[in-house]
Every structure is written in structure tokens, then in C-alpha cells.
Amino acid sequence: MQPAILPFPDSYTTPGRDALLRMLRFMKLHRAIEDRLEIAYRQGKLVGPLFVGRGQEAIGVGAGILLEADDAIFPSHRDLGAFLTKGVTPLQIFLQYLGRRDGPTRGRDGNLHMGDWSHRVGSFISHMGDTVPVAAGVAFAFKARNQPQVVLCFNGDGATSRGDWHEGLNIAAVLRLPVVYICVNNGYAYSTPLSQQMAVETVAERASGYGMPSQRVDGNDILAVHRTVEAAIQRARAGDGPSFVECVTYRMTGHGAHDPADYVPRAFLEEGERNDPIRRFLNWLDQSSRVSPFDVDVIDRSIEAEVEKAWAEAEAAEAPSGPETLLGVYAEGA
Amino acid sequence: MITYIEAIRQALFEEMRRDPDIFLIGEDIGNFGGAFKATQGLLEEFGPMRVVDAPIAEAGFTGLSIGASMMGMRPIVEFQFSDFMSCAFDQITNFASTTHYRMGVPVPVTFRAPTGGGFNGGPFHSQCPEMYYVHTPGLKIVAPATVYDAKGLLKAAIRDDNPVIYFEHKHLYRRLKEDIPDDDYVVPIGKASVRLSGNDLTILTYGAMLHVCFAALDRIPDSEGAVEIIDLRTLKPLDEETILASVKKTGKVLIVHEDRQTGGLAGELAAIVADKAFEFLDGPIRRVTAPDTPVPYAPPLEHFYLPNEEDVANAVTELLDY
């Protein structure tokens, strides 16, 4: 059966040099932070699990970079780049992973289960798909207050099998809320391939069934992600309701750092390597003569320094004390 | 004189006029005015962005209310029956309840939950599911037993910065009538009320059972002055001060609730009393509750299931004689 996918408007201007460099920097920073975290994990310095988004940097960055300060974002557990585009710093991410007192959750939660509402970054929780209706609620507030802001909400392909995902998409469509749902489809929900999660060919079909435009794109092509999400955001800002973007990508690692991913066919991993979104973007930048090797070198050096400085600062930061467990269960006042 | 459900409706009107950030969402609450008519007339005054008819998607509209509340709005979710909250259990117990703890962001949502039996509603329209939520840190839980409290506790719930579950008892909707003040008042969350003073036995109860307890005492004319009745009003956080002060005075405790026995609030109340007032006790802590079964439909079955005034009177007599 042909999926009932609605086309997006086809007007797009390739970003200028500065914007392209910002994209490249965020993608590389995403990867450098995770490389550093993997070292720490192997050293036994991370107390909890580590879920990296290596190979998926184009999605969080390509979409997140489109947002304005007052727009909200709900990244999923591998979308580190999305956090960075909204102003969350490497230091905050390291503090979170190390469970430090000054981290975004003050040691209450680990990995990318964090938010920073001062930047309008909402927090993912382990229950897949839960943020889908919550993001609709943030969009509802924007609409109720006649504000032009929009919400981006990320989930993996696995989350699209949960009821909350379906209820959330449906209610966002019925109420025509300004939200863009992004599926980071890396083919696997932990160890379970997509073919064992759904009987349709694409996640996009699931979304289009709720009556919203739904588009499938190459998630390792940052400009394809950027272009498509831009159209979806324009639609949301214009008051035309939600859209869905399925970004097809690869998981270049196991589910977490603990998982060797023996169940993933070698060919799929190699295909992911060949499609490394950073390398593809660099090739395009090089071929289109938009940036020079010097530009890239400057980025690499600044990232290396930034990451090492942030890591050292995070490692030196204080852990919370045990009794702080009891604080903050309730909001005070009123 | 107004009814319990009219008090709820008045609170909704008054709060929504006071604060434009308040909106209602739930099933059949707009055009239809709600399954129990608690929201009748609200759509006409406030329009469809503030009285939102939702699809049958409890997790969906509960999640939506959480997101809107994170932006500073004050959503009021109507579950058609408290039984259906289980469909949103994850959003309530994992997302709403932990968001302030994890992110420091308040979630000021009020969940209205029409609860309880007594009208042959059967297994899925009659339950008292409060304990699933009493167990969850980050939630507050109230259960008004009077018309005055129905209005005052709802206003307090709406103005609270935390997720509050408001268990309104369906059996009381149109049976209770009271004169209540015209002025804007709230009943503070976390404060129990001593409904009857006595010296020899404390009854701890809440919701519709408050009235069953009073009816039970009518059957024991010589209990006058002996029995103290405490209406908990708030189930989380419990008003330990009022509870313990009474127990220390009377030395005996009977706990009455409509919810089932195992894992019911009575167990927690008994533990608190045993922990903190053990040396004041002159008898066993007794419970009158529903049995550990689903809520049955047929009148003789439901009558057997629900704690009634005879059950309470027997327990009172037994404890007074102990």
C-alpha cells in the first residue's frame, strides 16, 4: 500500500557559510563529547549507562539549529546535538553523566534524561513516547497564548510502538498544535529490528494516519533534515498544525556502551560507517568550496580544548550529599 | 443550599474567571457538560480553547496537561471516572510526579477524579484507586467529604504548584446539600478536620465514608461524647499532627475507608499510629474497609462490598467495650 504522505512546500535556501560552520561545529562537538564519555565509561568513571548518538548527529543538529530561543525542544536519549543547539553546554552534560550536584538534574537522573527549562529543553524519561503528548501540551500553551513559538519533539523508532506516542500524535493533530515530531529511525529498538515492531514499511505512514503531513528523509544528510524540518516548523508557526519527519539513520553502536550489538548484521554497521553524517557533510562542504580545511581545523582545535576543559571542571565538581535525596520532591509556595 | 457537584462547578467558574491560564480538558466536558454535568455552561462562557473536549486518550490529554503546566498554565483534567486514570498511570506517576524533582519545573495540574461506588456501576466505574497514587512521591491527593470542602479543596488544588489529584465522590454529588459562604475561600491541603469530638475512640476516615460513620453513630445512642471522627480531607500529605493528637487523647483507633483492605490507606495510618503513639493505645487498631475483590455490580453484591453503617457500628461498639 502506498503511504498517504503529504508533500512539504519546496522552498529552501541553503544556509550561508556561518550557519554551515555552526552546524559542523555542533555535529563535531556532539561526537567529541560522546568520545570523551566513552573513555570515561571504560575507565569506570560513569556510574550509570551511556547511550551515544554516534552517526545520528545530523538529526539533532539539523533540526535543533532551526529553533529560536523561546521555542521548546524535547530531545530523545541520543540527541545530544539537539541539546547543544539550544545552549546546553558540554559542562552541563558532563555534570549530568557524573551525577554532580550542579548538573541539570542535581544527580537525580543520569545520561541524557535531563532538561534545562531556562533554554526550553524538556527532559526525556525512560518510558518511551511519554514526551509526545507532553510536547503537545507545551505547544498547546503557545497556541492558547497566541504565541508564535513551536515545539520539536524527538523519539526513536522503538517509541513509535507505544500508546502514548499514538495518543500524543492524535491529540496534537486534532487540536492543530504547533509541534514537529521527529523520529530518529536507526532501525533498532535496543536489539529488536524495526520489522519486528511494525508491519508497515515506514514510521512516516503511522504518523500520516493521524492526519498530519509526514515525510521520510535521509537522516544522515544534515541539509535534507534541515530543509524538511524547516518546512515543518514554518507550517507550525503559520498555525497549520503538527508535522512528522522520519529521519532514517543508522545506529553505529550497540544500544548502550554495555552492548556489543552482536545482533546487528555487519553489513548494516558498515553501511552506517560509510554514511557517517559528519564525513558526508564535510565532503559536501569541501566539494562545494564553502569552507576550507583551515576552518575545519579551527573547529577541531576549539572543540578539543572546550571538551577537555569541561570534563576537568565536571570531574572536579562536587557530588551531592545523601540527604539531598529528600529535597525538591514538591514545588514550594502557592 | 447547593450540592456537592454544584460546589465543584462554582469553583471551576470562579477560578477560571480569576486566572486566564486555567483550562479544562477531558472527555465530553464541553458541549455535553461532562458525564456528571460538573462542567455544564463552562464552554459557553470560556470557549473551546479553555474547555477542551478530548479524544478518549487519557495518556494523551494527561501528557498534554503536563506540558501546558510546565509553561505556567494551570490545566484541570477531568477523568470521566477515576477508574480510567489507570490509562494515564505512567504519565501521572512517572512524568508529572517527578518533573519538579528532576528538572525543578513545577507541574501545577489538577486531576479531577470522580470516584467510588454505591450506584451499581460495576467493576470499572466504582473503584477507589487513590492508593496507587498515594504511593507516588511528588503528588498531592485530596478527597473532599462535604460541600464546603468540595469547593475549598478544589480551589486549593488549582492554586497549588504541584500535581494534585482531587477525588470527588460520585455518591455525594447530589445527595449532599449545604449552605456555603459566598466569599472566596480555600481549604488548605494537608489539614484534616475533627468533625466530631469524643474521648474514647478515634475514627479516621475520608470521602463518602464520613457520612457512613455518622450514620453508624446514630445506631449507638450511648456513644455520645465517646467517639471522635476525623475527616482526613487530604490523603497525601497526611495531617499526622491532628491524627496523633486525637489518638493520644482517645487511645483507640478505627479506620474506615471505601477502598479495599490490602495496601489501603488504613495500613499506613495504622503504622503511623503504632510507630508514634504506641504507648497511648488501649486497644487494637481496627479497620473497616471493602474486601479484596473487584467492585461487584448486582445490588446485594455491592451492598456486601461497600462498608456500611452496620459494619462501622459493630466495630465502634466492639472497640468501645474493649
For residues B134 and B146, give the distance between their C-alpha atoms in angstroms, rounded to a whole number. Answer: 21
Contact B73 A141 (CB under 8 A): yes
Indicate which CATH number applies to the domain containing B70: 3.40.50.970
CA B57 to chain A, closest CA, distance in angstroms equals 6
Indicate which CATH number applies to the domain containing B316: 3.40.50.920
Mutate to test the interface with A, among B64, B90, B91, B164 (most CBs of A within 10 A): B64
> Is residue B24 in some structural domain?
yes
pLDDT digits (tens, 9 = 90+) for B243-283: 999 999 999 999 999 999 999 999 999 999 999 999 999 99
Among residues A79, A77, A74, the alpha carbon closest in space to that of A180 is found at A74
pLDDT digits (tens, 9 = 90+) for A250-306: 998 888 989 988 999 999 999 999 999 999 999 999 999 889 999 999 999 999 999
Neighbours of B245 (CB within 10 A): 15
Q: Are residues B152 and B69 in the same domain?
A: yes
Q: Are residues B106 and B146 in the same domain?
A: yes
- Across B75-96, average pLDDT: 98
Domain count, chain B: 2
Residue type, A247: C
pLDDT digits (tens, 9 = 90+) for B307-320: 999 999 999 999 99
ipTM more than 0.90?
yes
Q: Are residues B160 and B60 in the same domain?
A: yes
Q: Are residues B135 and B207 in the same domain?
A: no
Q: Are residues B162 and B217 in the same domain?
A: no
Query: What cell numbers appear for A62 in the block?
Result: 539539523
For residue A333, pLDDT beyond 90: no
Among residues B3, B26, B8, the alpha carbon closest in space to that of B166 is found at B8
Name the pTM for this structure: 0.97
pLDDT value of residue A1: 37
Q: How many residues does chain A have?
A: 334
CB–CB contacts below 8 A, A to B: 137
> Is residue B185 in some structural domain?
no
For residue A237, pLDDT beyond 90: yes
Is the CB of residue A219 less than 8 Å from the CB of residue A225? yes
Q: Domain containing B256: what range?
A: 193-321
Q: Is B125 annotated in the active site? A: yes
Q: Are residues B81 and B134 in the same domain?
A: yes
CA B102 to chain A, closest CA, distance in angstroms equals 5
Contact B65 A137 (CB under 8 A): yes
A-chain residues near B188 (CB < 8 A): none
Q: How many residues does chain B have?
A: 322
- Across B142-164, average pLDDT: 98
Neighbours of B70 (CB within 10 A): 27
Which of B100, B125, B169, B171 is an active site residue? Answer: B125
CA B28 to chain A, closest CA, distance in angstroms equals 15
Last residue of a domain, one of B130, B151, B178: B178
- Across A166-172, average pLDDT: 98
pLDDT digits (tens, 9 = 90+) for A189-226: 999 999 999 999 999 999 999 999 999 999 999 999 99
CA dist list (Å): A327 to A195, B40, B95:
44, 41, 18
- Across A150-169, average pLDDT: 97
Is the CB of residue A93 less than 8 Å from the CB of residue A60? no
A-chain residues near B90 (CB < 8 A): 127, 130, 164
Q: Could you tell me the domains of chain A?
A: 17-314 (3.40.50.970)
pLDDT value of residue A5: 57
> Is residue B204 in some structural domain?
yes
pLDDT digits (tens, 9 = 90+) for B278-317: 999 999 999 999 999 999 999 999 999 999 999 999 999 9
- Across A162-180, average pLDDT: 98
Q: Are residues B132 and B250 in the same domain?
A: no
Chain A residue with minimum CA distance to B92: A130
Q: Are residues B137 and B206 in the same domain?
A: no
pLDDT digits (tens, 9 = 90+) for B18-27: 999 999 999 9
pLDDT value of residue A209: 94
Cα B7 vs. chain centroid, distance in angstroms? 15
Among residues A235, A266, A236, A233, the alpha carbon closest in space to that of A250 is found at A266
pLDDT value of residue B45: 98
> Is residue B87 in some structural domain?
yes
> Is residue B38 in some structural domain?
yes
Burial (CB count <10 Å: 0-12, 13-18, 19+), residue B212: buried
Q: Which residues of A touch B (CB under 8 A)?
A: 104-105, 108-109, 113-115, 117, 122-123, 125, 127, 130-144, 163-164, 167-168, 170-171, 174-175, 328-334
Last residue of a domain, one of B122, B146, B178: B178
Mutate to test the interface with B, among A130, A134, A150, A166 (most CBs of B within 10 A): A134
Q: Are residues B268 and B138 in the same domain?
A: no
SS3 of chain A: the string is CCCCCCCCCCCCCCCCHHHHHHHHHHHHHHHHHHHHHHHHHHCCCCCCCCCCCCCCHHHHHHHHCCCCCCCEEECCCCCHHHHHHCCCCHHHHHHHHCCCCCCCCCCCCCCCCCCEHHHCECCCCCCCCCHHHHHHHHHHHHHHCCCCCCEEEEEECHHHHCHHHHHHHHHHHHCCCCEEEEEEECCEECCEEHHHCCCCCCHHHHHHCCCCCEEEEECCCHHHHHHHHHHHHHHHHCCCCCEEEEEECCCCCCCCCCCCCCCCCHHHHHHHHHCCHHHHHHHHHHHCCCCCHHHHHHHHHHHHHHHHHHHHHHHHCCCCCHHHHHCCCCCCCC
For residue A3, pLDDT beyond 90: no
Last residue of a domain, one of B117, B143, B178: B178
Per the listing, cell 545520528 goes with A56
For residue A323, pLDDT beyond 70: yes
- Across B137-142, average pLDDT: 98
> Is residue B72 in some structural domain?
yes
pLDDT value of residue A11: 78
Q: Are residues B270 and B241 in the same domain?
A: yes
Q: Are residues B91 and B49 in the same domain?
A: yes
> Is residue B138 in some structural domain?
yes
Which residues 24-43 in chain B show a CB within 8 A of chain A? Answer: none
For residue A244, pLDDT beyond 80: yes
pLDDT digits (tens, 9 = 90+) for A133-150: 999 999 999 999 999 999
Contact A171 B60 (CB under 8 A): yes
Mutate to test the interface with A, among B46, B49, B56, B103 (most CBs of A within 10 A): B103
Q: Are residues B21 and B170 in the same domain?
A: yes
> Is residue B184 in some structural domain?
no
For residue A334, pLDDT beyond 50: no
